[in-house]
Amino acid sequence: MSSSLEETFKDFPLYSQDNRKRNAICLMLFTLGNIRWYILEGEKTNNDFTLYGIVVGLCETEYGYISLNELSQVSIDANRIGLGKLYVEQDLNFKPCAIGEIQDKELQSFLSSLY
């Protein structure tokens, strides 16, 4: 967690975007292969951050909470196909925007089913 990300969460603590629906601001994106974590809010808890967002690319797309420490330990052993061990990475090119503007078919399908 960089100091700039910590600063971002000061303006978007947990529950700060309730009822914003498709207008909720997605602050950052984490990826691991085809799995995407769209992070909407976060708050420091002890020596960790509790993040809230939408995960896409697992069995089920859903809103949920995850700790940053937990997310940083998620990995896939891809040695069998010559890729070594893969870890969750933050997409540093991602620019914050409304969740409804993100070009991700699975994400938009999920949002359409709710709103």
Q: What are 87-101's pLDDT values in tens digits?
A: 999 999 999 999 999
pTM of the entire predicted model: 0.92
Contacts of 99 (CB under 8 A, 6+ apart): 22, 23, 24, 25, 26, 38, 40, 54, 107, 111
Residue 23 DSSP one-character state: G
Residue with tokens 């330990």: 73
Q: What are 75-86's pLDDT values in tens digits?
A: 888 889 888 899
C-beta separation of 85 from 79 below 8 A: yes
Q: In Å, how far from its chain's centre is CA 41? A: 9
Please state, for a pLDDT cut of 70, what percent of the chain lies above it: 97
Arithmetic mean of pLDDT, 34-42: 96
CA angle 75, 59, 67 (to 5 degrees): 45
Please state, for a pLDDT cut of 90, what percent of the chain lies above it: 76
User: What are the residue boundaries of the structural domains of the chain, listed by start?
Assistant: 3-114
Position 71 confidence tier, pLDDT thresholds 50, 70, 90 = very high
